[in-house]
A = this chain, B = another copy of it.
């Protein structure tokens, strides 16, 4: 129940550093192989993280496969599940276009040899230590102090930007700059020549030709395929080359006919899949937002061309509503329709559901994409495989390749959204922060505390714990002072804590403490399960 000004304030105090630190401290997410110095772009989910991820996974499966929503005309929709393998016949990725076209433009630094995604370079330069130092000395459109630049180049610059021309070749660069300063009185003209700091190849400052890591100059852009390659079979030759799937969706198209032949589904129907995918990102960034190994929740809804537009609109709205139903606030979610020039040549329409991440705020970043893909994928696979993939509609006596609407969400990215949304600073609490998860998503639904670890309280608590754990993920915590135990549960995002105290032994009541309001009330111990059922469902 915060008013608008408080909400704004709260939002402003959320930083990725704080969220990452809490996730590490409480066991949501750890860097993979941390004891070996980690590995860039890979993350492990700890005890709380895997429960959170499983809750999101299970909610999607429940709401998409077991109990799909009613369709745009109120009719029951039919969606079945699938689990295709990560490694498929490599011809799949030729047909899908991934072998030829799934590339990122990449640049290498000529000095430090590091690689960067070309479209990330500018942002990374702006965030870099050396650029921020240099901006102090030479603010935009001012005339810089040559002494200041020389001092920096010989001190801090040696550490933060050893590849920068100004640092590598200080005297010549400053001589050049001096000439420019002498030739004009307009600070703007001097600023326009600031590329002299970076060497001959750089044209504009700040720009893509500079290495975010060392300030060195970057190579031309070249294409880099994002699929991980490996070999199936003992011989590592081209004939055995296979790929780790970069998306789960193609496994669905591959099995379209199999599902049709075995499941008595009729168009329109959907096939849903949750699973890992891999992209060999040149520059993995922003925590688990862009990692090299991640999980997707994708569904292909097959329909007649004439119904595709209506279903596209339906799924965009349905998916947006779904994220809201998990407690993501409307103000942090937006629908962004792709412009015509963003669309693939075969795609009629595409919309992203975007979230205001701390690292994009006040802007937004992708969470889920809903694409109207036409029948491009089935057409491609039919052509490349020679298999007949058309659907025959007996009632209409019509044979056709169905069109698809594809709601494709990131499971790992969804977890990140849940974490960012839940993170709520509160200076009045001992923990200074609590995780405001929707009860359906909370990794631990309830904690059970004996007030003290004696006088029979632990036994009562254990009995309650064993009753509840068959239905809910609950935790029993016996020791430490009660304030610390509440604080720990606030950081874990546990919505309800039940405490067994002296009065429990007299009248069978326990206190229930509600995470968000901090309210406490007494209920009968026999009513705890019913209480949770009402709150969580």
Contacts and interface: CB of A to CB of B under 8 A. Distances in A.
A111 B292 CA distance: 41
Given A82-B46, A254-B34, A40 B232 contact: yes
A243 to B, nearest CB: 9
Interface residues of A, number: 84
Most buried by B among A106, A258, A271: A258
The secondary-structure label for the interface of chain A is: mixed
Most buried by B among A32, A47, A255, A259: A47
A34 to B, nearest CB: 7
B87 A44 contact: no
A230 B230 contact: yes
Contacts of A83: 44-45, 49-50, 53
Contacts of A254: 32-36, 44
A63 to B, nearest CB: 11
A51 interface: yes
Contacts of A154: none
Interface string A255-267: 1011100111000
A469 B27 contact: no
Contacts of A129: none
Interface in A380-419: 381, 384-385, 387, 389
Nearest to A37: B89
A230 B225 CA distance: 14
Interface in A46-89: 46-47, 49-51, 53-54, 61, 66-67, 76, 80-89
B86 A232 contact: no
Contacts of A84: 32, 44-45
Interface string A269-298: 001000010101010000000001100000
A65 to B, nearest CB: 9
A51 B58 CA distance: 12
B25 A262 contact: yes
Interface in A161-179: none
Contact of A462 (B40, B53, B76, B89): B76
Given A27-B262, A67-B469, 4 more contacts: A36-B91, A50-B81, A50-B82, A276-B276
Interface of A: 24-27, 30, 32-47, 49-51, 53-54, 61, 66-67, 76, 80-89, 91-92, 106, 108, 115, 224, 228-236, 242, 244, 251, 254-255, 257-259, 262-264, 271, 276, 278, 280, 282, 292-293, 381, 384-385, 387, 389, 462, 469-470, 473, 477, 488
26 contacts: A32-B85, A33-B91, A33-B92, A36-B88, A36-B91, A36-B92, A36-B254, A37-B89, A39-B88, A40-B232, A44-B84, A44-B85, A45-B84, A46-B82, A46-B263, A54-B81, A66-B473, A67-B469, A86-B293, A87-B278, A87-B292, A106-B234, A108-B234, A230-B230, A234-B282, A264-B477
